[in-house]
Chains A and B, each alone.
Chain A
Amino acid sequence: MSLPVVGFAGMTHLGLVSATAVTARGMPTVCYDPDQALVARLRNRELPVVEPDLDDMVAANGDRQTFTADLADLSACGVVYIAKDVPTDDTGKSDTSGIAALIEQILPILGEKAVLVILCQVPPGFTRKIPLEPSRLYYQVETLIFGRAVERATQPERYIVGCAAPDAPLHPAFEAVLAAFGCPILSMRYESAELAKISINMCLVASVSVANTMAEICEKIGAVWSEIVPALKLDRRIGQYSYLSPGLGIAGGNLERDLATVLRFSEEYGTDSGVVSAWIANSRHRRDWALRLVHESALREKVDPVLAVWGLAYKENTHSTKNSPSLATIAPLAPYRLRVFDPVIPVAAANHPRAEGATSPVEAASGADALLILTPWPVFRQADPAAVAKVMAGRLVIDPYAVLDHQAATTAGLDHRVLGAPAAV
């Protein structure tokens, strides 16, 4: 079968990256978004998200990747992906009204034989309710990871596809899209696929929670978590790609949404979810590791101290600040002076009354009583601890992700604190 024209509805982070990856495999794509201003920027190749290699790929795709604000343009597509963001409220509950409205708009203009694929994350039970012939309706588990979105989209390890009849062959047009990536395709019921995504995230949360729990004990008893991790990764039952890096809680809206979803199902159906509640409690506790440390070690000792902050983004290589541990840490530091540097995020995003921006990491650290490295941007790894020590007024460096070399930082006279290790190693 010839390659189909593939439509993407919703130029979100997920939609843009997915469409770019599909286009790069030789398929023409129609990238729709109702926001005309966004479409105009995309046509000028001004991308709203930061991801390694994304700009180059979009440029290389050329005219094969078209952007439109006209919904009717999707009618020519053999496969249409729904890639709109599904927002969550403060409790992590998904609001599917927006995506439901989009689907309602698209169904009347969808080609007679075209396939509709739900790519965004929806709660189990959502896909089956869509009023479309089941053989043309699929759910596909999305694999977006901020900062590694292009890598994940271009080199998927497998596709998980929810369908009405798992034993039946996939619709040829849809199969052609997936086959272009040359990875295993796992077909299953809609509900299984929807829950598979959540299950994956539960496994990740479990691993991170183990890391966070044990890292805290390491900090108290003189063990070093980073020494333990390689031993775990060589255990086949755990695995080399397991998520064992401790962090400032479980950041990221998708994980929190899935935790909330599991709790809701548990409540509705009377299943045990005590461990999920424990993960959430542990996440809340570890999220504030840096906040507690800066209070214990810097703020109680000096009147009106200056705190340097490196990084505002949710994680490295992304422009997103949603659920950013950095913002969560500095919000309750409102009475204190901050000097902030982030390679992408402007200081205004900190929404902090006493924050001022700096043009470089070293400038931010200059004269600071303590330094907090709250996003592990690669550029921060290039900082020379000796140079940082030279310009800082204080010695405390709170570096949860061990961005600076610990030995070099200690040699430079810094009190270098990382997750999972005692104060002085």
Chain B
Amino acid sequence: MLTHTHNALTRPSRVVVMGAGGFVGGAILARLKALDVPVLPVSRTDVDLLGEGGGAALAALLHPGDVLVAVSAKAPCKTPAMMEENMRMVAALCQVAAGSELAQVVNISSDAVYTDDAPLVSEFTPAAPASLHGTMHLAREIMLRGVCKAPLAVLRPSIIYGAADPHNGYGPNRFRRLAAEGKEITLFGEGEEKRDHVFVDDVAELVALTILHGSRGVLNLTSGESHSFRDVAEMAVRLAGSASTVKGTPRQNPITHRHFDVTVRLRAFPTFRATPLAEGMAKARRDMENN
């Protein structure tokens, strides 16, 4: 559940985006600037949370009343070494959250904190991650919750897509690129699994709304629509006007689906409109072509 400190939109004195150089951090930065919110972007080159005194370096940049958006993480977290690095990063963030007079902390988490076998997920679904990545995010949430003096908003996006995504993971981004190049798209099995894919602009908008309302609690950042990977692949081919083929492979794992109940978001931000997948995919394609 998400509760607001301000019912009316209220600009904070400043927002510090830790991880502003990344795909999601960059989108958040752009959206906040568009809303005339004073922003301080901080990237790994400014402050290395893994380096000696990383927390102190970040704390030195903060002013009382700042909002801190914590985006940076080593993701996807797949190995014990990455886990260890992420824990060091969040320890530094905790040092900052505990020792600074912040107005709000916004932690960008992940829907990987939920159990894989929950077909319909809401903010009330217990977090029970089965992956290292999900475990990392849940540990990060718990650590921050334990020390944060300011209102803490934990935002859990589903699969984020957009033109600038540097990852080439299985899903809309890879499919869009393969389709643009006219290459074959290979599915796991027949791509039956249904997943929620959220457009990066929507993530940025929801983060901005969370900041402008001074919200605290948990919110899933999702589109509310679940599509099979085959549908997404075929949509990418159609949008590209491509000759790419979409090919299935022998299934290695059982089919699982994930849908989201978006009621908490509808209640928290009733005028927010999620971008439908086809619309978001088309915009991502245009953005990709323009860059």
Contacts and interface: CB of A to CB of B under 8 A. Distances in A.
Nearest to A295: B266
B266 A332 contact: yes
Most interface-central of B120, B270, B271, B273 (chain A CB within 10 A): B270
Contacts of B261: 285
B228 to A, nearest CB: 15
Given A300-B273, A332-B270, A333-B270, A292 B262 contact: yes
Contacts of B120: 285
A92 to B, nearest CB: 16
B267 interface: yes
Q: How large is the interface on A (under 10, 10 to 19, 20 to 34, 35 or more residues)?
A: 10 to 19
Contacts of B271: 335
DSSP majority for the A interface? helix
A295 B120 CA distance: 19
A285 B270 contact: no
A60 B122 CA distance: 53
DSSP majority for the B interface? loop
A333 B263 CA distance: 12
Interface string A272-302: 0000000001001100100110010001100
B257 to A, nearest CB: 12
A288 B270 contact: no
B260 to A, nearest CB: 11
Contacts, number: 31
A300 B266 CA distance: 12
Interface string B103-124: 0000000000000000010101
B263 A292 contact: yes
B93 to A, nearest CB: 32
A334 B7 CA distance: 11
Given A281-B124, A285-B122, A285-B261, A291 B266 contact: yes
A300 B224 CA distance: 13
A70 to B, nearest CB: 46
Contacts of B267: 288, 291, 331-332
A336 interface: yes
Contacts of A295: 266, 270
Interface in B122-169: 122, 124
A336 to B, nearest CB: 7
Given A292-B262, A295-B266, A336-B270, 17 more contacts: A284-B122, A285-B120, A285-B122, A285-B261, A288-B267, A291-B263, A291-B267, A292-B263, A295-B270, A300-B273, A331-B267, A332-B266, A332-B267, A332-B270, A333-B270, A334-B270, A335-B270
7 A-B pairs with the lowest CB-CB distances in the bound complex, closest first: A332-B267, A288-B263, A300-B273, A335-B271, A335-B270, A295-B266, A332-B270
30 contacts: A281-B124, A284-B122, A284-B124, A284-B263, A285-B120, A285-B122, A285-B261, A285-B263, A288-B263, A288-B266, A288-B267, A291-B263, A291-B266, A291-B267, A292-B262, A292-B263, A292-B266, A295-B266, A295-B270, A299-B270, A299-B273, A300-B273, A331-B267, A332-B266, A332-B267, A332-B270, A333-B270, A335-B270, A335-B271, A336-B270
